[in-house]
Structure 1
Amino acid sequence: MPCQNSSPRTRRLRLIVAGVTVLVILAVVVVVVLAVWNSGRKGTPGTEPALWKGKGTTAHLQEIVLGRCYNYITAVNPELSGKDCHKIWELLQAAFIYKHPCSIREEDYQPLMDLASHSIPCNKSLFWSKTQNLAHRYTKVNHDFFTLEDSLLGYVADGISWCGSSNHPGIDYNSCPRWTECESSPVSMYWKMASKVFAGAACGTVQVMLNGSIENGAFRNNSIFGSVEVLNLDPDKVSTVQVWLMHDIEGTQSESCAGPSIKTLKSVLENRKISLTCKENYRPVQLVQCASKPDHATCKLCPYTSQ
């Protein structure tokens, strides 16, 4: 018996099924195309999964580094006007771009350190450990002293982060390793190298501001000051390290100049033929603390003997 022609209803059903099939195929094609396109954009903000616990590369990193560099050599320290800011950026970028963020070596940053380093006036170097905010507040009102962040290498990199990625554009904007995640991350290696350069430039009597209100000791061997800067002071140029042991105005006084960690620091320095002196609550720095607590009893004292 010959087949009968399909009814109009059957033909409409077939058309609907065919249309749905075409739409599904188109949707799959679009998804695949977007996936391929996005894979080429990895490394831009928000497109990579967070692999690390730290914040990603700071947005507009190049513009920030160049802007800070030009401001430093023109307004902060015009004596360095001959420094090449574009070359400084190129060397910084070359040290980490497209590299695994736990594989950075000292050699990667050495050309940058050589280019951007500069001398520091004798007797004016100020190191710090667990007193970052107070040390920088002090150098802002007393321009005779220089912390690492007041040097060109510290100034351009202070407070920003960066790391590489194997994907285009070679920079991870989503996450970067914290210092505790790997010892050779781009940022940790940069600051270790910059600290080494800063310590090597010190001469005469150098100052270090330590926190006498923390429980685990004002001086710690595993700090940047203890593990890098102290060991790179040049005994032929540095005669004395003067400790300013500061206590929080309303905090505890966990350690004095006779405390165990200060004795440890003294021993380390004496082994390197460098002497140590120590002053508790150095009054000029304490007055900076008093700016935020002027009514505290400590701030109302009027000492007649200078420290």
Structure 2
Amino acid sequence: MECGRRIVIIAVIATVLVVVIICIAICTGIPTPLAVTPSQTDDDFKDTFMERCQKFNGSKPSRANCQTIWDKFQQAYVNKDPCEVPTEAYDPVIAEAPMESAHYRFMFWSKTKDVVHEFTGKNNCFMTLEKFLLGSVLDDLVWCGKKGSNETFTTGCPNGTECVKNPVRSFWNRSSAAFAELAWGNVTVMLNGSLQTPFDNESIFASVELKRFEFPRVTHLAVVLVTQKNSETNCSNESLQKLKKEVLDKGIGYNCSAVTESHLKACASDTVKLSHWRFFTITSTILFFSFYQT
């Protein structure tokens, strides 16, 4: 009788502990295994991957190359816990589709994706990560795997708030590192002047890309602060001063210019009609410097 009572008490205590742990995890934002459950496969994902790979207008890989790239890409996350995919899992696919340095000016961005892509999409002067093969193929896609399955899932996948080592975040961290390691000379970054902290220490640019800028490979960083009309944010922002110090401490040159988003969009839309000289002069002296200074 006494033994049975003890078993009941232990069972009750164990149940209470499980409930408490789950409540704490939910309240504090700590992910639990129950929170991430990939639920639906997407046969179109591979088709999209292969189609984009074939149409990529850079290195123009053959069908066989695209299949090899797909195979190595999938190996990074299939049959794995979607919250336990480290950045190095993508090393084989990065090696299979390496980024090639060319005579471009490298453009980085943080929370300015749309304006950057609109600006760079109309000219071939600046190169973003999304203009390379893997960046182009996987832009705006979501994917993950799960233990016990060799399939690719596109729904129920974890995001950055649920777990850090999710497949999408790990891929972009790894490819961003490769992109930054390729950059040379004068590089440009567009930051969001609508935010209180345009230079965010948690961003990929701050935590991954900037850390890989080394002098003399990288000689100058040009910051374009994208603002709205009548915006009060400028290059004296505290976070940008921290960025300036970090860059100068590396021995890399630094300058910053605030440019309105409407100005950049107007400039991008008129690119075809403008000469290179007028194009960069209209945009800002900072972009002119970034393109022509070597």
Give your verdict on TM over 0.5. yes
1:134 alignment partner, SS class? helix
In structure 2, distance between residues paired with 1:265 and 1:57:
42
1:242 alignment partner, SS class? strand
Q: Is the 8 A contact 2:106 2:127 kept in 1?
A: yes
Identify the structure with the greater helix proportion: 2
**Which residue is 2:203 aligned to?**
223
In structure 2, distance between residues paired with 1:253 and 1:198:
31
2:109 alignment partner, SS class? strand
In structure 1, distance between residues paired with 2:142 and 2:61:
25
Superposed CA offset, 1:87-115 (max 9, x none): 11001101100100011123311111112
Q: Is the 8 A contact 1:53 1:178 kept in 2?
A: no
Q: Of residues 117, 135, 142 in structure 2, which corresponds to 1:161?
A: 142
Q: Of residues 32, 50, 58 in structure 2, which corresponds to 1:66?
A: 50
2:220 alignment partner, SS class? strand
Q: Is the 8 A contact 1:200 1:233 kept in 2?
A: yes
In structure 1, distance between residues paired with 2:131 and 2:265:
18
Aligned 1:103-142 pairs, distance under 5 A: 103-122=84-103, 124-142=105-123
In structure 1, distance between residues paired with 2:155 and 2:60:
37
In structure 2, distance between residues paired with 1:151 and 1:167:
32
Q: Is the 8 A contact 1:124 1:207 kept in 2?
A: yes
Q: Is the 8 A contact 1:203 1:239 kept in 2?
A: yes
Q: Does 1:242 align with 2:226?
A: no
In structure 2, distance between residues paired with 1:291 and 1:276:
24
TM-score, normalising length from structure 1? 0.71
Q: Of residues 249, 262, 265 in structure 2, which corresponds to 1:271?
A: 249
What's the CA shift for 1:282?
7.0
In structure 2, distance between residues paired with 1:304 and 1:172:
45
What's the CA shift for 1:235?
2.0
- Structure 2 CA distance for partners of 1:95 and 1:277, relative to 1, 3 Å: same
Q: Does 1:95 align with 2:76?
A: yes
In structure 1, distance between residues paired with 2:283 and 2:138:
40
- Give the partner amino acid of 1:70: Q
Aligned 1:4-43 pairs, distance under 5 A: none
Identity of aligned residues (%): 33
- Structure 2 CA distance for partners of 1:101 and 1:79, relative to 1, 3 Å: closer
Q: Is the 8 A contact 2:267 2:283 kept in 1?
A: no
1:96 alignment partner, SS class? coil
Superposed CA offset, 1:53-110 (max 9, x none): 99966551111111111111xxx21476699211110011011001000111233111
Q: How many residues align?
A: 241
Q: Which runs of 5+ in 1 are unaligned?
A: 1-49, 293-302
Q: Is the 8 A contact 1:52 1:178 kept in 2?
A: no
In structure 2, distance between residues paired with 1:248 and 1:55:
41
Superposed CA offset, 1:248-285 (max 9, x none): 24xx62421122111110111122221111111179x8
- Structure 2 CA distance for partners of 1:129 and 1:289, relative to 1, 3 Å: farther
Q: Which moved more, 1:90-99 or 1:60-69?
A: 60-69
**Which residue is 1:259 aligned to?**
237
Superposed CA offset, 1:8-27 (max 9, x none): xxxxxxxxxxxxxxxxxxxx
Q: Is the 8 A contact 1:123 1:203 kept in 2?
A: no
Q: Which moved more, 1:78-87 or 1:108-117?
A: 78-87
Over 3 Å off, 4+ runs: 50-59, 78-83, 167-174, 289-292, 303-306
1:207 alignment partner, SS class? strand
